[in-house]
Structure 1
Amino acid sequence: MSEQQKGVLFAAGAYLMWGLIPLYWKQVQHVGSVEILMGRVIWSFAFTLLFILIIRQHKEMTADIKKLWANQKQFWLLFIASFIISLNWGIYIWAVNNDHLLQASLGYYINPLISVLFGLIFFKEKISQATAIAVIIAAIGVGYQAILGGTIPWVSLTLALSFAFYGVIKKKIPLDATRGLAIETLFILPIALIGYAYLMQTSDIAFMQVDWKTNLFLIGSGIVTAFPLVLFAKGAQKIPLYLMGFIQFLSPTMSLLIGIFVYKEPFTTTEFVTFGCIWLAVLIFSLSKLIEARKRQAI
């Protein structure tokens, strides 16, 4: 098996897990979204740190932290990134467990297009005519739902914008994915621990209070966060960016199908028009990237 084939398998595995993760969060639908988020941060840090110790990269992680502290701009940028990704996690969990999975799916369809715009704004990257058309078509789809459909898809926009901003910050800070996740969750860990303690004092919590199944799913949230990220990092190292771009749409497509056929979320004419515009935009965007990649290979 070639390195590129291995990369495709790693990347597909990551996006497959991300596509199936709504089924996981539905198992703890009876748990408050804030408690799930706090637990996800705590257990993500625990399992990621354990993995780093197993692969003996704790010295590298210590060096990463020292290097970040020496560069205060990068340190605080990563601190901000940790808050942004936590916001993204929290909204996604809330969306899944409050029957807004279609909006969550829409957000991750839109995200690559917003990332392209952010590349233009923050990194002065060039944008092709095809990509510009794709972004306009996607905006028409979102605008249709907001104006004619009567609902602003705030879940979709917040997920797409937060993940795009997270990507911008991460691009400014070259850091190993696994160690980066550990450091990011370390930043949020004190807040998560304090938040959990506050929940224990002010309201009923589910952890260690409901049943063993709930406990296992809350603890396992760390694994389902860390493991696909490791697969993604391995895949990204072995395959071209345009190929990763195609594979990334596997996740929102699976989430969309799960929302419609498993959880019976309504897919009305409004959703059909909105998603139709997004799918057309994604098709134009993906084909343009494929053509660009083939032209580079031919040179």
Structure 2
Amino acid sequence: MNFTMPLCQTAAGFARHTDPDARKREASRGTDAFANASLSTEALLMLAGLIAAIPLLLFAPGARRIPPSMFGLIQYAAPTLQFLIGVVIHREPFGQVQLIGFGAIWIALAVYALDRLWRAKVRRA
């Protein structure tokens, strides 16, 4: 595994803290995002890259353990949940054209999934 990018943010933050003049230079130019932040906020911001990288590092081995056809179907879950949140919670407009498109996609996915199940059942018999 390559831990270069997640550690890059932490290393940059550490290097900034070890150079006392760097903080003064950045604050005087108005470019220091950490100038008014507490130490706990600074620590959380520095660890944000590492925290975001952990699910991504776990995703790759998990994706290799399932069949590609199932992985493809699972990839429709996140956009569908985002769509439902948009329509149900945020009351975004959802007309007849969008309903037809969304329905056609899910009907096609259902046909594909049922075909895969049927073929697996035939192979077992």
1:223 is matched with which residue? 51
- After superposition, the Cα gap between the structure-2 partners of 1:298 and 1:221, relative to the gap in structure 1 and judged at 3 Å, is same
CA shift for structure 1 position 272: 1.1
Does the CA-based 8 Å contact 2:73-2:109 persist in structure 1?
no
- After superposition, the Cα gap between the structure-2 partners of 1:222 and 1:262, relative to the gap in structure 1 and judged at 3 Å, is farther
Unmatched segments (≥5 aa) in structure 1: 1-43, 51-203
Q: Check if 1:251 corresponds to 2:83.
A: no
Distance 2:32 2:84 in 1: 29
Does the CA-based 8 Å contact 1:245-1:286 persist in structure 2?
no
Q: Check if 1:278 corresponds to 2:105.
A: yes
Q: Check if 1:237 corresponds to 2:91.
A: no
TM-score of the aligned structures, taking structure 1 as reference length: 0.26
Unmatched segments (≥5 aa) in structure 2: 10-29
- After superposition, the Cα gap between the structure-2 partners of 1:220 and 1:49, relative to the gap in structure 1 and judged at 3 Å, is closer
The letter of the residue matching 2:88 is: F
Distance 2:7 2:123 in 1: 37
The DSSP-based 3-state class of the residue aligned with 1:242 is helix
The letter of the residue matching 1:47 is: P
Distance 1:270 1:290 in 2: 30
Q: Give per-residue Cα distances to partners, 1:71-123, cap 9 Å, x unaligned.
A: xxxxxxxxxxxxxxxxxxxxxxxxxxxxxxxxxxxxxxxxxxxxxxxxxxxxx
CA shift for structure 1 position 261: 2.5
The DSSP-based 3-state class of the residue aligned with 1:266 is coil
TM-score of the aligned structures, taking structure 2 as reference length: 0.52
2:24 is matched with which residue? none
CA shift for structure 1 position 218: 9.1
- After superposition, the Cα gap between the structure-2 partners of 1:237 and 1:261, relative to the gap in structure 1 and judged at 3 Å, is same
Distance 2:48 2:62 in 1: 23
Does the CA-based 8 Å contact 1:47-1:222 persist in structure 2?
yes
Q: Indicate the percent of aligned positions where both proteins have the same amino acid.
A: 31
Which structure has the larger Rg over C-alpha atoms? 2
CA shift for structure 1 position 247: 2.7
Distance 1:288 1:241 in 2: 15
CA shift for structure 1 position 275: 0.9
1:46 is matched with which residue? 5
Distance 2:70 2:93 in 1: 32
The letter of the residue matching 1:223 is: I
Higher relative contact order (CA 8 A, sep 6+): 1
**Equivalent residue pairs, number:** 100
- After superposition, the Cα gap between the structure-2 partners of 1:48 and 1:284, relative to the gap in structure 1 and judged at 3 Å, is farther
Q: Check if 1:260 corresponds to 2:82.
A: no
- After superposition, the Cα gap between the structure-2 partners of 1:270 and 1:207, relative to the gap in structure 1 and judged at 3 Å, is farther
- After superposition, the Cα gap between the structure-2 partners of 1:259 and 1:221, relative to the gap in structure 1 and judged at 3 Å, is farther
The letter of the residue matching 1:277 is: A
Distance 1:285 1:210 in 2: 55
Q: RMSD over aligned Cα, in angstroms?
A: 4.0
The letter of the residue matching 2:61 is: K
